[in-house]
Amino acid sequence: MQHVRNGNGESGIPALDVVGVSHSYGKKRALNEVTFSIRPATFAVLLGLNGAGKTTLFSLISHLYDTRHGAIRIFGHEISRTPGEALRRLGIVFQARTLDLDLSVYQNLSYHASLHGLGSKEARSRIDAVLETVEMSGRLHDKARSLSGGQMRRVEIARALLHRPPLLLLDEATVGLDVQSRAGILANIRGLVQKEGISAFWATHLIDEVDCDDHVVVLVEGNVAANAGVKDVMRSTGTKSIAEAFSKLNQKATATASEELP
C-alpha cells in the first residue's frame, strides 16, 4: 500500500487545541467554555446526543463559523489568526454528502486536487494512493451516483486525505449507513491513525462507534462533561461501560439544569 502520510512532523504540539470556546445562536448558547486537546496520532471521539453542539463545534474548527469566544489551534496555528496555515493541516468529511453525483470518482478528486494547487501528474499519483488507502481503487472512473452510501463516504475520506493533512475531522461520517459499512469505515480510519500517524476527530451520537482504547470528549448540552480515555471516563463515573457512563453524564446534566430552574 502507498502511504498517504508518514507521520506529521509536529508531534510535540497538540493536533487540536480548543480553549474556552463558546458560541450562541441569538440568546441560545450552543457551546459553553469548551476546552480540550487531542494529541497527535490519536483517534478521538466527540460523543454527544443530537443537539449537544457537535456540529457547531465542527463548524468552528473548520472555520465555517468565526470563533468569537475562545481559541482553536490546529498544530499550533490559531484558526482565527492564520486560517490558511490551520486549514492546510485539516481534512474534513462533513455529515452531508458532498460529491458531485454526475462526475466520476476521479473527476471529483481531481477537482479537489486542483483547489490545493496540485499539478495533474502529482494529483493522479495522490488520487491513486488515497483510493487504495480507502479500498476504492477499482471505482476510479465510475460515476459517483453509482456508488453505495458507504462507498461515497470512502471517496469523501479519500478526498479529505489528498492534501496530506495531519488531522482528519469527521462529522457523523456513518450516518445512514448499514452496520457493515459503518464498521468498515471506522476500521479504515483507525488503521490510518495507526499506520500513517495522523489524528482523527470523529463526531458521533452512536455509542457502538466508541472503542475502549479511544480518547473521548463527551459533549452534553454544549458543555464538556468528560475529556479522557474511555477507561478513565468509566472509572471516574463508576460505570462498567462507556454506554453506562454516557447515560450517567447526560442524566447528571439534566438533573443539574432542573435544579437551576427558578
What's the CATH code of the domain at 28?
A: 3.40.50.300
Q: How far apart are CA 45 and CA 138, in angstroms?
A: 30
Q: SS3 of 128, please?
A: helix
**What cell does 144 get?**
459517483
- 79/125 same-domain check: no
- 157/223 same-domain check: no
Pairing of strands 28-38, 16-25: antiparallel
Side chain identity at 88, as an amino acid letter?
R
Q: What CA–CA distances, in Å, run from 69 to 22, 60, 66?
A: 5, 11, 9
- 82/142 same-domain check: no
Residue with cell string 459499512: 181
- 122/148 same-domain check: yes
Q: Which of 201, 249, 158, 248 has the alpha carbon at shortest distance from 57?
A: 201
Q: How far apart are CA 88 and CA 74, in angstroms?
A: 9
- 130/202 same-domain check: no
> Which pTM value belongs to this model?
0.88
Pairing of strands 199-204, 43-47: parallel
- 110/23 same-domain check: no
- 228/196 same-domain check: yes
> Which residue among 106, 133, 164 closes a domain?
164
> Which residue among 131, 146, 164 closes a domain?
164
Query: Tens place of pLDDT for every residue, the chain, 262 residues?
Result: 333 443 444 557 999 999 999 999 999 999 999 999 999 999 999 999 999 999 999 999 999 999 889 999 999 999 999 999 999 999 999 888 889 999 999 999 999 999 888 888 999 999 999 999 898 999 999 999 999 999 999 999 999 999 999 999 999 998 888 888 899 999 999 999 999 999 999 999 999 999 999 999 999 999 999 999 999 999 999 999 999 999 999 997 766 554 444 5
- 33/119 same-domain check: no
> Which residue among 129, 164, 199 closes a domain?
164
- 81/182 same-domain check: yes
Q: How far apart are CA 169 and CA 134, in angstroms?
A: 16
Distance from CA of residue 147 to its chain's centroid? 22
- 205/154 same-domain check: no
- Provide the number of structural domains found in the chain: 2
- 124/245 same-domain check: no
Domain that holds residue 7: 1-89+166-262
